[in-house]
Amino acid sequence: MTVAPRSPPAAESAGGAPAAYRSRPHEPFLVHRGLRYLWVAAAVVAASVVAYAIHRPRLGVANGGTWLGYTLGVIAAALVLWLAYYRIRKRRYGVGRQPLTAWLSAHVYLGIAVVVVATLHAGFELGPNVHGLTWVLLVVVVLSGIVGALAYARYPRQMTRNRAGVALDDLLNQIATLDAECRAASLDLDDALARAVHAAGTDTRIGGGWWRRVVGRDDRCPTRHALDLARSRARDAVGSDARPLRRLITLLARKDALVGIARREARMRTLLGLWLYVHVPATVGLLTALALHVVSVFWYW
């Protein structure tokens, strides 16, 4: 059996769950302290919308260059910097008074609020230029974040249920034991079947490339092939010839089921980390575009 569950960095660093889960494993971050940060974010959004609605700019057009435009721009940029700081905060365990769950909860809700603040800052003037690019990157970061938050709310629980509480290492050990038993059970059977059982032990892949892991199955799985072959032999066998085949079928079927569980685990681990390949690079792009945006507006001022 080949086990290559190369999970993306986040899923690995989080051991299959977001870092926030490890500080308080039983508290879902989306409802941390009765949705406290949802209310904070709603207040930020409401204050920005009201200020935008009552604001009367001198030239009659709301934009980033009015006093309200600057205020909202600075608030949006400060929030972006604070949200990006989460990468550092999450790696410093036990530091600070707030648990990581609180940080992640605030991260999620204030991260969504920042889109509203930045859009009002721009006065809805979104063109194909470095300013518009800053806004687009912000939206990409936020959308990928929403995908990630949904994945974190869903997969860790599904993973535990999938393995019925059994640790992944134990599952892999059980598969290895079954491999050895299958090989022993196939010793007295015909060559083709013995070869198929041997291949099931050496060539069955659980991990592999990220696409294979996301698909979560292998249509040419050697274990399934050996199982199908053993079943077809059993259909033709009579009397005592069928007994060793039935034992082999039981073992292979058990292994096939465990391999299915391990593949689903690898799939969920991958999905749990995949979105970060968008979230983190887009954050770097956003910080760069934001710096260019601020420099360019002051340059042409």
Given the rule CB under 6 A, which residues bind ligand HEM?
10, 14, 18-20, 63-65, 69-70, 73-74, 76-77, 80, 83-84, 86-87, 90, 104, 107-108, 111-112, 114, 118, 121-122, 125-127, 129, 131-132, 134-135, 138, 141-142, 145-146, 148-149, 152, 276, 279-280, 283, 290, 293-294, 297
Pick between residue 267 and residue 293 the one whose CB is nearest to ligand HEM.
293
262: which 2 tokens?
């391990």
117: which 2 tokens?
């603040």
190: which 2 tokens?
């015909």
Pick between residue 237 and residue 294 the one whose CB is nearest to ligand HEM.
294
Q: How far is the CB of 152 from ligand HEM (least distance, A)?
A: 5
Any residues with CB less than 8 A from the CB of 161 and at least 6 apart, and which? Answer: none
Amino acid at 111: G
Pick between residue 107 and residue 263 the one whose CB is nearest to ligand HEM.
107
- Report yes or no: 122 and 152 within 8 Å, Cβ to Cβ: no
- Report yes or no: 41 and 109 within 8 Å, Cβ to Cβ: yes
DSSP class of 27 = S
Q: How far is the CB of 122 from ligand HEM (least distance, A)?
A: 3
Alpha helix positions (H), 17-162: 19-23, 36-54, 67-89, 100-121, 130-162
Pick between residue 64 and residue 222 the one whose CB is nearest to ligand HEM.
64
For the packed helices 168-185 and 242-274, what is the interaxial angle rounded to 10 degrees? 150
Q: Which residue is nearest to ligand HEM (CB)?
A: 64
Q: How far is the CB of 158 from ligand HEM (least distance, A)?
A: 16
Cα(290)–Cα(103) distance, rounded to whole angstroms?
23
Q: How far is the CB of 97 from ligand HEM (least distance, A)?
A: 18
Pick between residue 234 and residue 297 the one whose CB is nearest to ligand HEM.
297
Count other C-beta atoms under 10 Å from residue 209's C-beta.
12
Pick between residue 132 and residue 260 the one whose CB is nearest to ligand HEM.
132
Q: How far is the CB of 172 from ligand HEM (least distance, A)?
A: 25
